[in-house]
Structure 1
Amino acid sequence: MTNTAKNQTPHQTPNQPKASVKTQASSTLLNPARLGGLPLPNRLVMAPLTRNRAHADGVPSALMARHYADRASAGLIIAEGTTPNAVGQTYPNIPGIHTDAQEAGWRRVTDAVRARGGRMFLQLQHGGRNGHPDTSGHVPVAPSALALPEDVETPSGPQPAPVPREMTTEDIRATVADFAAAARRAIAAGFEGVEVHGANGQLLQQFLAENTNRRTDGYGGAPEQRIRFAVEVVRAVAAAVGPERVGLRISPNVTVNGMAEGDTYAIYRALVTELAGDGLAYLHIVYADQDPELFGELRRLWPGTLIGNPVLTREDVAKDGGLRKGEALHAAGADLIALGRGFLANPDLVERLAASAPLNLVRDKYLMYTGGETGYNDYPTLADTRAAAA
């Protein structure tokens, strides 16, 4: 993930694989929508995608400004997981939002996106135990002193995950404050709002899950207590920037990064019920259609905007970027649909879908994380492809 990619001229993509797509410009996902008071040109959301293209100090790079600006036609862009403090860093070259230089770097990104007519939220991600001192300079912290059961990426390559330090009550208070401060910086940097990352085995989900939270104080035990940290973070962020600027991402029963929640239904009933009346911008559910019964229950409990991230196979992405799966999830109650790999390989995904045009396919998963232009800013637009063929 950390090796530098070889130089390649942008948009030079010999043997670029293509997917055929047969879609209709009348798709409901291509219709305008609203996110609270924010008008959206369509219902397609660019999902937050870790790409390891920031500088070593967490400052967003010029590569990132171009990458997001090229995808400004998405209804909403949710920028990649960004650390609210130094100890929360997961992998090398992950962006942060806790220094003046990082804030200024993100301002360059949002200016570039806004100049192309786009709208962005920033995902705030604390990795908890998913870090390493060789990357962040800090021993990771977590709800309990239980190590990630797999290697973690560092600047020198994969290493065994260290045992994290169990967070004290003061650590918890300080981390909640760091999330709020990061949210204020994000708004100052030009984002329309922030998404609190409570999914995919990061710190908030580590508090939610049975196997990573063995605490015996008020932050552990029953689901109503294990949700406490997540609720405090969300409410502190909402108090800092306004609830209408705050979303929450969750991933019920997702096992990535060694998660085993145990009582998934009880956890998310409690969490969603607790936050349902707070007036947040949205709830974002990862793999929302893998458990239709739970999705239906959370949809009933959540009164506001719900973003659904469908389960997509390689075949789904190759067929239409995930559009049909997204339409089914929209029909089941999701207001907006988040797609990842479709936007990754197609800067003009919305335009391609509207034109029933072929899609680029992701060429090499390895290139997602290698740094540089290759596999990041060298996917051609439809106009590029047509010009090359002329």
Structure 2
Amino acid sequence: MTDMLFQPYRLNDTLTLSNRITMAPLTRCMADDDLVPTDQMVAYYARRADVGLIISEATIIRADGQGFPNTPGLFTQAQIDGWKKVTSAVHDNGGKIFAQLWHLGRQAHSHYFGEGTVYAPSALQIEGTLPRARDFHYEMPKAASHDEIAQLVADYTQAAKNAIEAGFDGVEIHAANGYLIDQFLHFDTNRRDDEYGQTVENMSRFALDITDSISAAIGKDRTAIRLSPAAYTHIEIDARDKEVFDYLLAQLSERDLAYVHAGIFDDSVVYEHLGGKVSEYMRKQFKGHFMAVGGYSPNQAANHIANNDFDLIAIGRPLIANPDYIEKVKTGQPLTEYNVDMLAELV
């Protein structure tokens, strides 16, 4: 049954993937203190280049987007040059790789970038401490002004241009998992009363502005986006969110992007306000190449692809545990079970 996974898949005239398995973005915190990719990262990605597409770990678009230690960036020449080594190694091994573009919004912290401002759609603070810096509490964010929003769009776009300079085959806009763009898309975190809030069109505006700007800069064929319609982390579900994503996914369906990617940890969860699982909801709403994720075994993924439930499957933790995942699945070998201690291993 898994033979379905190993067939080439054509995204567009620019990109055909060697198989339908993609590597999910996996934050590993392996960059150096200047957020430059390291030699360990080169080896890590090169070993997994036989998947149809690697999606890089989330990569920040500018300094004030950081909320985890040693996450790579794409806003300095040194970072671009460091990524060139990664993309060259992936290409030399026959692979393709997209950069996932990231700004954490209110999950960012000035501990990482010094004196500065944490931005969000609304001035709503998260309770608690940072996941990898427990001595630091989340800060009160500033509701971004119109000029600051325009600058963010420009910085996302520049990061996309930098990604192409660095040799990436395209970019995935990280608009999921409770980070900056996702914060605009949910009523819990977006309390604005201007053209970026209150209505589904306004709440979708920031995501669409970024998508359109990046598409114009590098091509829609090299532009993708990841979304979390169900709310994911640090966001409370509001049934009205469905209307936002109904509108957003309809708009994205008209843009002929490389793909849309679900952002969910466990896709077996049923969400009443979405009428089912995240992948089921997104497949109904989005007319284009759709990538699912969320705990699928190879056999489950193959069955769903055969049923046209999604086109591509992103694999996360099993690819940390099994850099030879493709070969093992092809030959029916047992997979090494993931455990958290593996996060200390770089490759």
Q: Do both share a fold (TM > 0.5)?
A: yes
Residue equivalent to 2:139 = 162
Give CA-to-partner distance per residue, 1:185-217, whole Å, 9 cap, x none. 001100110000110000011001111111111
Residue equivalent to 2:11 = 35
Residue equivalent to 2:56 = 79
CA change 1:109–1:251 in 2 (3 A) is same
Which 10-residue stretch deviates more, 325-334 or 87-96? 325-334
Aligned length: 337
Residue equivalent to 1:119 = 96
Counterpart of 2:83 in 1: which secondary structure?
helix
Contact 1:141–1:164 (Cα < 8 Å) also in 2? yes
Summarize the alignment of residues 38-77 of structure 1 with structure 2, pairs less than 5 Å apart.
38-77=15-54
CA change 1:223–1:158 in 2 (3 A) is farther
Counterpart of 1:257 in 2: which secondary structure?
coil
Contact 2:186–2:231 (Cα < 8 Å) also in 1? no
Residue equivalent to 2:327 = 351
CA distance in 2, matches of 1:273, 1:255: 21
Post-superposition offset of 1:289: 5.4
CA distance in 2, matches of 1:338, 1:35: 15
CA change 1:351–1:242 in 2 (3 A) is same
- CA RMSD in angstroms comes to 1.8
Counterpart of 2:37 in 1: which secondary structure?
coil
Summarize the alignment of residues 183-202 of structure 1 with structure 2, pairs less than 5 Å apart.
183-202=160-179
Post-superposition offset of 1:329: 3.1
Give CA-to-partner distance per residue, 1:70-109, whole Å, 9 cap, x none. 0001110000110111111121101100111110010010
CA distance in 1, matches of 2:278, 2:68: 32
Q: Tell me, which stretches of 5 or more residues in structure 1 are unaligned? A: 1-23, 317-321, 369-373, 378-390
Name the structure, 1 or 2, with higher relative contact order (CA <8 Å, separation 6+).
Answer: 1
* In the alignment, structure 1 residue 298 sits paired with structure 2 residue 292: no
* In the alignment, structure 1 residue 220 sits paired with structure 2 residue 201: no
Contact 2:262–2:278 (Cα < 8 Å) also in 1? no
Contact 2:103–2:179 (Cα < 8 Å) also in 1? yes
CA distance in 2, matches of 1:293, 1:358: 28
Contact 1:201–1:259 (Cα < 8 Å) also in 2? no
Contact 1:210–1:262 (Cα < 8 Å) also in 2? no
Contact 1:81–1:123 (Cα < 8 Å) also in 2? yes
Residue equivalent to 2:119 = 141
Give CA-to-partner distance per residue, 1:343-372, whole Å, 9 cap, x none. 111111011000000211223x2552xxxx
Residue equivalent to 2:219 = 242
Q: Normalising to structure 2: TM-score of the pair? A: 0.92
CA change 1:289–1:281 in 2 (3 A) is farther
Which of 264, 269, 280 does residue 257 from structure 2 map onto? 280
Residue equivalent to 2:345 = 375
Q: Normalising to structure 1: TM-score of the pair? A: 0.82
* In the alignment, structure 1 residue 325 sits paired with structure 2 residue 303: no
CA distance in 2, matches of 1:281, 1:247: 5
CA change 1:294–1:362 in 2 (3 A) is closer
Post-superposition offset of 1:56: 1.3
Contact 1:31–1:43 (Cα < 8 Å) also in 2? yes
The letter of the residue matching 1:337 is I
Post-superposition offset of 1:294: 6.0
CA distance in 2, matches of 1:127, 1:47: 18
CA distance in 1, matches of 2:159, 2:243: 30
The letter of the residue matching 1:110 is T
Counterpart of 1:359 in 2: which secondary structure?
coil
The letter of the residue matching 1:66 is A
CA distance in 2, matches of 1:149, 1:30: 44
Post-superposition offset of 1:259: 4.1
Which of 101, 104, 108 does residue 78 from structure 2 map onto? 101
Counterpart of 2:162 in 1: which secondary structure?
helix
Post-superposition offset of 1:139: 2.5
CA distance in 2, matches of 1:207, 1:119: 30
Q: Which has the larger radius of gyration?
A: 1
Contact 1:110–1:189 (Cα < 8 Å) also in 2? yes
Contact 1:209–1:262 (Cα < 8 Å) also in 2? no
Contact 2:187–2:241 (Cα < 8 Å) also in 1? no
Contact 1:273–1:301 (Cα < 8 Å) also in 2? yes
Contact 1:198–1:230 (Cα < 8 Å) also in 2? yes
CA distance in 2, matches of 1:62, 1:68: 10
CA distance in 1, matches of 2:121, 2:89: 38
